[in-house]
Structure 1
Amino acid sequence: MVVKDIIDILEGEVICEGNLDAEIKTACGSDMMSDVLAFVKDQSVLLTGLVNPQVVRTAEMMDMACIVFVRGKMPDQGIIDLAEQRDITLIKTRYRMFTACGKLYEGGLSGGTAV
């Protein structure tokens, strides 16, 4: 799956365009960045309802190509600028976290291996 597929599946709106052809192998849904840091690095997409700069910094540390903000959350310009500098795609979707994760799973994206 690539970022473009995620946009289609989640009926998402691109806020900041990075590499839309980046391969995405797994997904992680969390509002706790400490949990994300414990997650396996594998070109993941991060789904979150948290809108602060720490989300982008965490995604960068974990080599994630894409962040999806659920529940229609919109990050401020500072977060968008940070993502642009780091070539991370930002997407927002109207779906809640559970639904968005389920749609991606149904579309063929896994959650990775158990810890």
Structure 2
Amino acid sequence: MLLSDVKAEINAQVLTGENDESLGAVDIHNACGSDLMSDVLAFVKDQSLLLTGLVNPQVVRTAEMMDIIAICFVRGKTPPESLIELAKEQGIVLLSTKLPMYTACGRLYRKGLEGRKDAETL
């Protein structure tokens, strides 16, 4: 799924300055919704979208380690400018949606964006 499609499906705002044209070139392979970064470390693969309610530097640092290419803050959360700058430095796209995590994940799943395939056999 293209990141521009993700943005449209969950009515997200881009926080890192990318335009819709550049988002259309970013392909998301899977997604994870979690506020526990330990779960993200255990289950996320690269080219992923992370949906979370946390707005602290550990979120970006975790994304950097796991090659997550985009983070979407749910429930209308907006990170501080320092976090936005850190994400820009790492090349991570930040989005924000007013939707709760469950709804945002459900809409994306319904459109074909799945979680990690092998998680079903764990």
TM-score range for the pair, normalised by the shorter chain length: over 0.9
Of residues 45, 50, 56, the one that matches 1:46 is 50
Question: 2 CA distance for matches of 1:112 and 1:12?
Answer: 23
In the alignment of these two chains, the number of paired residues is: 115
Moved more, 6-15 or 40-49: 40-49
Query: 1:4 maps to what in 2?
Result: 4
How does 1:1-115 map onto structure 2 within 5 Å?
1-17=1-17, 20=23, 21-113=25-117, 114=119, 115=122
Moved over 6 A (4+): none
Normalising by structure 1, report the TM-score: 0.95
Root-mean-square deviation (CA), in Å?
1.2
Inter-partner Cα distance in structure 1 for 2:90 and 2:55? 16
Corresponding residue SS for 1:11: coil
User: How far does residue 74 in structure 1 lie from its aligned partner after superposition?
Assistant: 0.3
Q: Identity over the aligned pairs, expressed in percent?
A: 56
Note if contact 2:32-2:44 (Cα within 8 Å) is conserved in structure 1: no
Q: CA deviation at 1:14?
A: 0.4
The structure that is helix-richer by fraction is: 2
TM-score, structure 2 as length reference: 0.90
The offset of 1:42, in angstroms, is 3.1
Between 67-76 and 8-17, the greater mean CA deviation after superposition = 8-17
C-alpha contact 2:15 2:84 (8 A) present in aligned 1: yes
Task: State the one-letter code of the partner of 1:31.
Answer: D
Contact between 2:45 and 2:116, CA under 8 Å: does it hold in 1?
A: no
Task: Structure 1: state its 5+ residue gaps.
Answer: none
Matches of 1:46 and 1:17, distance apart in 2: 18
